[in-house]
Amino acid sequence: MSLRIVPVYPELLSIYADRGNVRVLEQRARWRDINVAVSPLPLGADLDPAEADAILIGGGQDRDQALVAEALRQQVPALRSAIADGVPVLAVCGGYQLLGHAYRDQSGRMTPGTGLVDLETVAGPDRLIGNVLVEVEVEGRVERLVGFENHAGRTTLGPDVAPLGRVLAGAGNDAVSGAEGCRVGRVIGTYVHGPLLPKNPWLADLVLGWACEHRGLPVPLQPLDDRLEQVAAEAAARLALDERR
């Protein structure tokens, strides 16, 4: 019985090393002797919600987002079914924007999103670029999320949508609200990449644990030796704080 990880349209939505997120989930499962299969969803194929335990949607350039947006909207019934069944969804940067109702680029062109999450994004006049540090409260504990952001989008969350975390350094959703990302149940959206999961093993294990629970595998997960990952995370946090000063 294999854990099934589904990266969505990786040929177009992997601009920010998003394949690294898939690789981290895969390897952290194997270190725990969990059988795992990675089944990328190519453009033009249909998602089978019964064949996914974790779904990853990466980032892309504006033109690539426009290319995949219509195809992704066709997957909304399957995505809703998977989400309702407890499958975690991790969406990064452009994938995060596509979770929402629409994205308006700097030329004013509107790209309709999936509407899976009540949020909208409008491109600002400049890009928000740099290291980012975010405080996240999840499942009764407080964690630090580190990484890099590079986006023109200013994302506004709906009134019933909680941010993933509070910005300690960096811009986050809009450089104004102090919010970063979104979380609705097991759906997580974020602008943090570089890729995201290698420097945030706690988040990798959160998603992996949800996936194992969906598959009926034992949880909680066996702890791993994350000393190297913690060194990388601490270095990234220092960079973010230094840039803020």
Q: Are 41 and 47 in contact (CB under 8 A)?
A: yes
Concerning whether 193 is annotated as a catalytic residue, the answer is yes
Catalytic residue among 93, 182, 212, 214: 93
Q: Which of 151, 182, 193, 212 is flagged as catalytic?
A: 193
Does residue 182 carry a catalytic annotation? Answer: no
| Alpha helices per DSSP H over the chain | 19-30, 62-74, 76-84, 94-98, 201-215, 227-244
Q: How many residues does the chain have?
A: 245
79 Cβ partners below 8 Å, 6+ apart? Answer: 47, 49, 55, 89, 114, 116
Which residues are designated catalytic? 93, 193
